[in-house]
Structure 1
Amino acid sequence: MMIHIRNALLLCFLLHNFHVIICSSNNTDRDILLSFKLQVTDPNNALSSWRTDSNHCTWYGVNCSKVDERVQSLNLSGLSLSGKLPFNLSNLTYLHSLDLSKNTFYGQIPFQFGYFSLLNFIKLAFNNLTGTLPQQLGQLHHLQSLDFSVNSLTGKIPSTFGNLFSLRSLALARNKFVGEIPSELGNLHNLSQLQLSENNFTGQFPTSIFFNLPSLVYLSLTKNNLSGELPQNFGNAFPNLRTLALATNRFEGVIPKSISNASHLQIIDLSNNRFHGSIPLFNNLKNLTRLTLGNNSLTSTTSLNFQFFDSLRNSPRLEILMVNDNNLAGDLPSSVAYLSGNLQQFCVANNKLNGSIPKGMKKFQNLTSFSFEHNDFTGELPLELGTLKKLERLLVYQNRLSGEIPDIFGNFTNMFVLEIGNNQFSGRIPTSIGQCKKLTSLDLESNKLVGEIPEEIFQLSGLTSLYLQGNSLNGSLPPEFNMEQLETMNISNNQLSGYIPNIELKGLKTLGLARNKFNGTIPNSLGDLASLVNLDLSSNNLTGLIPESLENLEYMVRLNLSFNNLEGEVPMKGVFLNLSQVDLQGNNKLCSISNEVMHKLGVTLCVASKNKKNILLPIILACIGAAVLFTSMFYLLWLLMSQKKKHKEEKTSLSSTPLKVLPQNISYGDIKLATNNFAAANLVGKGGFGSVYKGVFNISTCENQTTLAVKILDLQQSKASQSFSAECETLKNVRHRNLVKVITSCSSTDYKGDDFKALVMQFMPNGNLETSLYPNDLESGSLLTLLQRLNIAIDVASAMDYLHHDCDPPIVHCDLKPANVLLDEDMVAHVADFGLARFLSQNPAEKHSSTLELKGSIGYIAPEYGLGGKASTCGDVYSFGILLLEMFIAKKPTDEMFKESMNKFVSDMDEKQLLKVVDQRLINHYYEYSTQDSSSDCHNGGSGDSSHSDGADGNIHWMHKVEECIIAAMRVGLSCIAHHPKERWTMREVSSKLHGIKRSILGL
């Protein structure tokens, strides 16, 4: 009886105080929210309604239950809140939804602001939530949605999140989380959305998620560092999956065939991974809208291509198809024409596809991007492409397309990128290109185009880049340009003539007019192009003075005015102070008043300029006037005039000497003295016909010394004299910045009366390429970087291009190898050793001018030479190809690993195998130190999210770009070592390809 009375009294007490308990719970949630407000910075006062004198259920972003006013939803997304994530949010035990996403500032810089508002703006720009995820959040058993994406949260995902059994959506994207994804997330059987992209997650993706979450609809892991293989029953594990975004990770293995069983899939993005094998068939994906498989190691043949594209006929909603940057080979089938009519982006770039571009393209009236670049497509550009009025990007560069460029561009009113360079197009440039008024990039370089450049092109006001180099275009440039946005214009290597007009393009950064037939003077207006970074006017017929206005170009990095007919004094300010970036060689009438400029740029020393005489005259008159007044100054004046006369005679003497101020006929005694009696310590290296020494020459007219290289011929060898003659004959006819500069020669007798022959050349302090590739001390830090290797390859290709295509008659080197590539103090490469060089007659019936027996170096000799073939430019191309491959493999072609030959060894490899034989020091270097992000050539095809990455994500992007660059360079090498000479590229094509690779790695 007493117990019943006690229970009744307790029940009455609880009923009486029920409102007190409710208020206590409400006050707990209220206090937690107020504490949260105190711990974060609120620059926009978004939490101004959170006041102690109001009901917390009415506060901004807060929703409560109606019965007990417990907080069920907290949505503070996009408020620019900052500070560490408070731990006590886990005490909001009735939370169903927690959204603190996007607390990173987004907005535009104010057009006008004062000092203090600028400081506030800078503070605002760095607003975001930081800190780690509290483990206590795993206690929120009612939580259904958790979104902390787009902040700066760090640390790992707590394993306690596996206790959130009610959770349906987990979004942690675009933070700085690290470590492995906890396997406990596989306990979240109700989870339908998992968004973990753009973090620093590592390790293998948990198999528990693959097998335990059949309700998953959305899975995004893009831009992490995750690894492992996808299970073979992947498609069966996720029957409800609609979005699969795994781009930019390190997933590998074969893409499961079962993926087609996830029949609800709409988006598949597996790009930028390491998947290999053939592409699976997608027969059952009727809802598929986006398929992105780029930047993997997938392979195919013509028959597999047919099966793959035929399977996509069952995807009538397909809008984006990207299979770029793989190892796909063979022809594209005609079934491509049966793809979805909704197709908007079609990208197969950077593969090994060949044959012609399939017909039936006119079906794709919604197509905006057609990207077929970097393949081996042949035939003509289809006329039916002209019917695609929505086309914005047409990229077919670096193929083998031929014929005339069809005049189809009048309908492309939305076109902004047209890049069809590096093909074999002939004929004239269609004038209809001028109707593409929105065009920003036009690339027609390295084709066989003739005729004049249509004036309509120079009226494209939105054009930012224009590449027309490497054709046979003629005529002159228009007097006016309307390309207000132009940043890059390269029309080098053509037959253009006339005067260079006044170019008034304020945003121009690169101007290339080299290797044409321009004449007249350099316009002063070029000095007004304040943004100019690179200016190349080399190898023309320009005359007159170098405009002093060029001194004003403060952003100038490289100026090349070489091989013209310029004269007068070299300016001494601005870019001319950075002598390593100015090239003036081949202008014999240029001079300088500076000894440093004279030696560095290869110009003579000015005797006296007119300006100096004009300044000197009033000084002399003033001295004479002073002498009349002060007789005691006569003697001093006499001494002054005597000294000036002596100095003038010294200047005159110096200006009359050749380069490096050495006598033209240097003696055996001079060389013996300079090399310290041919001391072993001065021996630089040995070649086939002699030895090279370092020599320090004394200049007789002053106390200066000059270090040069001396090649001493070993006349005991029967062919040494002919080699000496061949080298002299060759080098006296060539001038190029990447050819070794011979200063003088010696043909005399030594002190014993024996014949003595030597060449005195520019000294290269960094030795030759062979010693740089194979340093004696591997720990010395002398590893050649990727960019250095590319630059050296470009330098050598440029020199060989000049010898083959710009010399009359053409010159064949016949002994190109790393030991004959010398490196100066700036690591600029110079091709040397022309002892086997020969001139090629333009008359087929005439024999080669050289009488030397054809020789070369084992491993670098073209196969046709072994069969008695005549010297040809194709032989040099072969040698260059071997040299280029050697630069990236760091193994000599005679190495045992190549067995039969480097040619056969490398040609049989795919890209993944190639990366395994690449110089691992180079790969390891970039794995350790790379931090730069780089985008794919196929725009918007890299990931499932259009945002940029930073930190480790940038490293992954950069490493992908490094690997792409290495493979692309080795592809060039492979194209040079084709067994049949006619299948090899020309050195002009090679040079253009390497420049393109360099632009790609630098993001230009």
Structure 2
Amino acid sequence: MLLIFISIRCLGTFVWCVTLFLLNPDSCFALSNETDRVALLAIKSQLQDPMGITSSWNNSINVCQWTGVTCGQRHPRVIQLYLRNQSVGGFLSPYVGNLSFLRFINLASNNLHGEIPNELGRLSRLKVLVLDFNSFSGTIPSNLSHCSNLINFSVRRNNLTGEIPAYIGYYWLKLENLNVAENQLTGQLPPSIGNISTLQQLGVGENKLYGIIPESLGQLRDLNFLSVAENNFSGMLPPIFNISSLEQISLLTNRFEGRLPLNIGFNLPKLKILIVGQNNLTGSIPQSFSNASNLVILNLSGNHFSGKVGIDFSSLPNITRLNLGQNNLGSGSIGDLDFITLLTNCSKLETLGLNSNRFGGSLPRSIANLSTITIIAMGLNQISGTIPLEIRNLANIYALGLEYNQLTGTIPYTIGELINLQALDFSANNLHGIIPDSIGNLSTLNSLWLGFNNLQGNIPSSLGNCKNLMLLNVSKNKLTGTLPPQILEITTLSSLLDLSSNLISGSIPLVVGNLKNLIQLDISRNRFSGEIPTTLSSCTSLEYLKMQDNSFRGSIPSSLISLKSIEVLDLSCNNLSGQIPEYLEDLSFLEYLNLSYNDFEGQVPTKGVFSNKTRISLIENGKLCGGLDELHLPACHNTRPRKAKITILKVLIPVIVLLTILSVGLIVVCTRRRKQTQKSSTLLSMEQQFPMVSYAELNKATNEFSLSNLIGQGSFGFVYRGNLGEDLLPVAVKVINLKQKGSIKSFVAECEALKNIRHRNLIKIITVCSSIDFKGDDFKALVYDYMQSGSLEDWLQQSNDQVDGNLNLIQRLNISIDVASAIEYLHHHCQPPIVHGDLKPSNVLLDHDMVAHVSDFGLAKFLFDRPIQETSSSSIGIKGTVGYVAPEYGMGGNVSLTGDVYSFGILLLEMFTGRRPTHTMFNDGLTLHGFVKMALPEKVMEIVDFALLLDPGNERAKIEECLTAVVRIGVLCSMESPSERIHMADAVKNLCAAREKYKGRRV
């Protein structure tokens, strides 16, 4: 009877719902719609939403009108959740599994973390799940196997671990796109994936997968995109070259062996992109590529291909990038480069890489007909002949490398017509004649390599017009005349100025002091004369100064004491005289000093660099005495009697004591007065130094401080983008939140720090505002240059889904050197030294050229007491950001330079591993520092960001060497004990060395 009663009751309910639906269909879904509303509010409660995207998720409007929410057309159930690229953080709530009608989820390009909820497996209707570019961790949930209607599953660039589930090939049989690239997935590629006959795109690149590619992939007859790049796959090439639908293939940086199929161009008629660089492939390049008329990118670099290039490129009209570098192509004979003439028909070609092969014969004149080309890399071959005048036709080129070949003739004057050229390398050839004046027309040039040739004549003064030049190397030529002062006025010269091994004469112009950022200066083995200019003391970034084998006279200037970063100083084989300055023993970074073959006299110091015989050379200075016993110099004879010294000491000691007491008293009085007036004087000096701007002007510039102009939020204020003044100058306006405790102190600290410091890698302040707003309330703001490329934080955590949006290895090296240089300047070139106090990715801003600028000096501190390596005189603990602040600060430690060094080390490790120091994996005593330290040196390639391995221009071994060096620097900077951390100057030096070695530069 009970069963009969329940059945009748259920039947009645069913009839009631059907009747209600017929009278009012919408009301039938009201209860279910309420379920969706509750679920979405639960999801919102777990999100961090700085942009207020989910502010509409409230009870005042219908759920179907909420931002990012879409309901069905026939019923009010939620079918789509779209919050892509909205800066949303936090966790994805398990309540997402209650949105039972959901068909489409896209939460890509946000800051979500935690695990992907298992409850997603309840969504049987789900067709699209896109979670790219977040920080999800854990494994791919097993419950997702229930989502049998999935068409698109994409979780690219997260922190997922574990294996690719085998169930994908058994339950997701409607799948068209599978992308799990740029995670930490391990294991092998499941053979079951070959069961998904509908699969069109498969991306598993940049993980830790290994083994062979299963044969079953050859069954995917609709596949058009395949990327297994940046893994550890091995064995023969995957069985995919008979899938005629394939358009894009990337096998980059694995360990594949074998030959490309000879009929590849016939079997893959739709092929647009083929990237097989950095493998172990052999054999010849198939001529059948001539039939692949849709080819856009062909990258075969870093393999062992040999023989002649026999492709008919005239039949490849769409090709834009051709990279055959780092192989064994060519035979070193005439005709090797005949294919270049066929390339002139490729009207879209932009990049040509033929470097590091065996190409011989003359440089074809037809190369000048590559009118669309932007990069030509043909160095390290056996190319002969001359550089044609017609090179002027390469109007779009910005990088031209023909180094280490056998070119003859002169540098054509038409080179000056390549107005977009940024990098030019003709070094190590047999070029003669003069350096043409026209080279001064290259206003965008930043690197010029002409060394190891037979060039003659003067260095053209027109080079001074190259105002963006960072590196100039004309060493080992036969250049004569004097050094044009115009070159020394190129303030951007920072990496290298190498004039060594020439016949240049005259004195060094005093304007050499303009090269404040120059790291290496080599003028050795010339005919320079006169005295060493005292203005060299302004070149405070110098690490290598080589002036040997010239005719300099006089003494070593006392002003060179300011070269605090100097590591190598070679003044040998000159006519220098006088005593060896004692300050040389105080230059803490000086590793090698050569003063041989001069006429120095007097006592040799014994400290610093002089304390190690292997680090100095003093031979053929017959008047020197003293020093280390190992130098075997005669003893020095004191001329002043000991009794006279004792008498002087008896007089001096009481005087010194009295002066010390008076000085201490004076310092106490001055310190008290300074503290009373510090805030007002700082603001006054800022107002005097910078033009004040009104509140009304900033209100107009930022569109009334609208949310659409809000670009950041810090501890003490908000940052808006604006366009200031009649010229609409792009600016960033930092508005101080005066209600926040400590905000005035932060404002004063930032004003004080920024008013006197100048460095290319520090944020530049334009103006300040100290006024009242339209409500009559106090208003204070700082206005800076606007950084078009955003913050380092944006690039590390919120990159878009384009490969070109990632920071590559050389960009991260450049940024890390920029940041290190800025902090090194604050520590060692400011008086008093400055501690930044809050170094982290969000405080590193990038301009249009991706040059880094350290910002936010709200926690900056001045160190008024020495020694600067230790702590400030203040006992007030410094604030900072969790994960980046030095551990000793948490135990009450004082402000110190080593605290900044720690923060930089953590920042460096985050840049190159892609892991935040606050990642959930770092618990139970494990830190980012410890995680990386355990991987050194054998497992570095397993813990670095796999985006850094995407460089077809260098061998994997070279990339590994560079990354090992960089992460080691990060570990040394972030040691737990402050005394074990290296100095910032060491960090800059070692990072520069790693970059130069990686780029293959010849210093």
Task: Work out the CA distance in 2 between the residues paired with 1:139 and 1:529.
Answer: 67
Match of 1:71 in 2: 78
The yes-or-no answer on 1:479 pairing with 2:485 is yes
Deviation per CA, 1:132-160, whole angstroms, max 9, x where unpaired?
Answer: 32222232233322332233333333333
Match of 1:245 in 2: 250
Match of 2:788 in 1: none
Task: Work out the CA distance in 2 between the residues paired with 1:997 and 1:626.
Answer: 53
Match of 1:375 in 2: 381
Task: Work out the CA distance in 2 between the residues paired with 1:564 and 1:499.
Answer: 13
Does the C-alpha gap of structure 1 residues 371 and 950 become closer, same or farther in structure 2, counting only changes over 3 Å?
A: closer
Match of 1:397 in 2: 403
Q: Secondary structure at the match of 1:190?
A: coil
The yes-or-no answer on 1:328 pairing with 2:329 is yes
Give yes or no for contact 2:213–2:238 (8 Å, CA) kept in 1. Answer: no
Deviation per CA, 1:268-288, whole angstroms, max 9, x where unpaired?
Answer: 222222222211220221111
Task: Work out the CA distance in 2 between the residues paired with 1:995 and 1:199.
Answer: 25
Match of 1:691 in 2: none
Match of 1:562 in 2: 572
Please show how residues 463-502 of structure 1 align to structure 2 within 5 Å: 463-481=469-487, 482-487=489-494, 488-502=496-510
The yes-or-no answer on 1:512 pairing with 2:522 is yes
Does the C-alpha gap of structure 1 residues 958 and 286 become closer, same or farther in structure 2, counting only changes over 3 Å?
A: closer
Please show how residues 38-49 of structure 1 align to structure 2 within 5 Å: 38-49=45-56
Does the C-alpha gap of structure 1 residues 6 and 56 become closer, same or farther in structure 2, counting only changes over 3 Å?
A: closer
Q: Secondary structure at the match of 2:559?
A: helix
Task: Work out the CA distance in 1 between the residues paired with 2:140 and 2:231.
Answer: 19
Q: Secondary structure at the match of 1:73?
A: strand
The share of aligned pairs that are identical, in percent, is: 32
Give yes or no for contact 1:90–1:137 (8 Å, CA) kept in 2. Answer: no
Which of the numbers 341, 344, 350 marks the counterpart of 1:337?
Answer: 341
Deviation per CA, 1:200-248, whole angstroms, max 9, x where unpaired?
Answer: 333333332x32322222223333333333246x3322x2222222222
Which of the numbers 417, 420, 427 marks the counterpart of 1:421?
Answer: 427
Deviation per CA, 1:658-717, whole angstroms, max 9, x where unpaired?
Answer: xxxxxxxxxxxxxxxxxxxxxxxxxxxxxxxxxxxxxxxxxxxxxxxxxxxxxxxxxxxx
Which residue type is aligned with residue 108 of structure 2? S
Deviation per CA, 1:420-447, whole angstroms, max 9, x where unpaired?
Answer: 1011111111221111111111100001
Give yes or no for contact 1:409–1:433 (8 Å, CA) kept in 2. Answer: yes
Q: Secondary structure at the match of 1:385?
A: helix
Deviation of residue 25 (structure 1)?
4.0
Deviation per CA, 1:3-45, whole angstroms, max 9, x where unpaired?
Answer: 9999975751441576787345444444443333333433333
Match of 2:958 in 1: 961
Task: Work out the CA distance in 1 between the residues paired with 2:281 and 2:186.
Answer: 24
Does the C-alpha gap of structure 1 residues 433 and 955 become closer, same or farther in structure 2, counting only changes over 3 Å?
A: closer
Which residue type is aligned with residue 250 of structure 2? A
Please show how residues 662-677 of structure 1 align to structure 2 within 5 Å: none
Please show how residues 713-724 of structure 1 align to structure 2 within 5 Å: none
Give yes or no for contact 2:181–2:204 (8 Å, CA) kept in 1. Answer: yes
Match of 2:203 in 1: 195
Match of 2:353 in 1: 347
The yes-or-no answer on 1:605 pairing with 2:625 is yes
Please show how residues 14-413 of structure 1 align to structure 2 within 5 Å: 14-16=17-19, 22-51=29-58, 54-83=61-90, 86=93, 89=96, 92-104=99-111, 128-162=135-169, 163-208=171-216, 210-231=217-238, 234-237=240-243, 239-260=244-265, 261-281=267-287, 282-300=289-307, 304-305=308-309, 307=310, 309-310=311-312, 312-330=313-331, 331-339=335-343, 340-413=346-419
Q: Secondary structure at the match of 1:235?
A: coil
Q: Secondary structure at the match of 1:48?
A: helix
Deviation of residue 334 (structure 1)?
2.5
Aligned residues: 636
Deviation of residue 524 (structure 1)?
1.4
Please show how residues 610-621 of structure 1 align to structure 2 within 5 Å: none
Task: Work out the CA distance in 2 between the residues paired with 1:996 and 1:40.
Answer: 40
Give yes or no for contact 1:545–1:566 (8 Å, CA) kept in 2. Answer: yes
Which residue type is aligned with residue 336 of structure 2? L
Task: Work out the CA distance in 2 between the residues paired with 1:141 and 1:497.
Answer: 80
Does the C-alpha gap of structure 1 residues 398 and 286 become closer, same or farther in structure 2, counting only changes over 3 Å?
A: same
Deviation of residue 399 (structure 1)?
0.7
Which of the numbers 593, 603, 606 marks the counterpart of 1:595?
Answer: 606
Deviation per CA, 1:629-672, whole angstroms, max 9, x where unpaired?
Answer: xxxxxxxxxxxxxxxxxxxxxxxxxxxxxxxxxxxxxxxxxxxx
Which residue type is aligned with residue 18 of structure 2? L
Deviation of residue 469 (structure 1)?
0.6
Deviation per CA, 1:75-106, whole angstroms, max 9, x where unpaired?
Answer: 2222333445555645655444332222259x
Give yes or no for contact 2:337–2:359 (8 Å, CA) kept in 1. Answer: no
Task: Work out the CA distance in 2 between the residues paired with 1:582 and 1:616.
Answer: 37
Task: Work out the CA distance in 2 between the residues paired with 1:458 and 1:294.
Answer: 37
Which residue type is aligned with residue 104 of structure 2? S
Give yes or no for contact 2:188–2:209 (8 Å, CA) kept in 1. Answer: yes
Match of 1:532 in 2: 542
Q: Secondary structure at the match of 2:283?
A: strand
Deviation of residue 365 (structure 1)?
1.1
Does the C-alpha gap of structure 1 residues 599 and 65 become closer, same or farther in structure 2, counting only changes over 3 Å?
A: closer
Q: Secondary structure at the match of 2:29?
A: helix
Deviation of residue 467 (structure 1)?
0.8
Match of 1:460 in 2: 466
Deviation per CA, 1:457-494, whole angstroms, max 9, x where unpaired?
Answer: 13311111101111111111023433221111111111
Task: Work out the CA distance in 2 between the residues paired with 1:1003 and 1:379.
Answer: 24
Q: Secondary structure at the match of 1:277?
A: coil
Does the C-alpha gap of structure 1 residues 352 and 571 become closer, same or farther in structure 2, counting only changes over 3 Å?
A: same
Deviation per CA, 1:377-411, whole angstroms, max 9, x where unpaired?
Answer: 11112232222212211110011111222222132
Does the C-alpha gap of structure 1 residues 10 and 576 become closer, same or farther in structure 2, counting only changes over 3 Å?
A: closer
Give yes or no for contact 1:434–1:460 (8 Å, CA) kept in 2. Answer: yes
Q: Select between 140-149 and 424-433 the one with higher mean Cα deviation.
A: 140-149
The yes-or-no answer on 1:443 pairing with 2:443 is no
Give yes or no for contact 2:109–2:134 (8 Å, CA) kept in 1. Answer: no
Match of 1:911 in 2: none
Q: Secondary structure at the match of 1:566?
A: strand
Mark the runs of 5 or more structure 1 residues left unpaired by the alignment.
106-125, 628-924, 935-947, 966-993
Task: Work out the CA distance in 1 between the residues paired with 2:461 and 2:367.
Answer: 30
Task: Work out the CA distance in 2 between the residues paired with 1:352 and 1:343.
Answer: 23
Task: Work out the CA distance in 1 between the residues paired with 2:641 and 2:61.
Answer: 87
Task: Work out the CA distance in 2 between the residues paired with 1:463 and 1:148.
Answer: 42
Task: Work out the CA distance in 1 between the residues paired with 2:960 and 2:497.
Answer: 29
Deviation of residue 952 (structure 1)?
7.9
For the pair shown, which has the larger CA radius of gyration, 1 or 2? 1
Please show how residues 985-996 of structure 1 align to structure 2 within 5 Å: none
Does the C-alpha gap of structure 1 residues 54 and 167 become closer, same or farther in structure 2, counting only changes over 3 Å?
A: farther
Q: Secondary structure at the match of 1:251?
A: strand
- The higher relative CO (CA closer than 8 Å, separation ≥ 6) is in 1
TM value normalised by structure 1: 0.58
Match of 1:796 in 2: none
Which residue type is aligned with residue 596 of structure 2? Q
Please show how residues 914-993 of structure 1 align to structure 2 within 5 Å: 928=938, 930=940, 949=946, 959-961=956-958
Match of 2:819 in 1: none
Task: Work out the CA distance in 2 between the residues paired with 1:472 and 1:178.
Answer: 57
Give yes or no for contact 2:301–2:953 (8 Å, CA) kept in 1. Answer: no
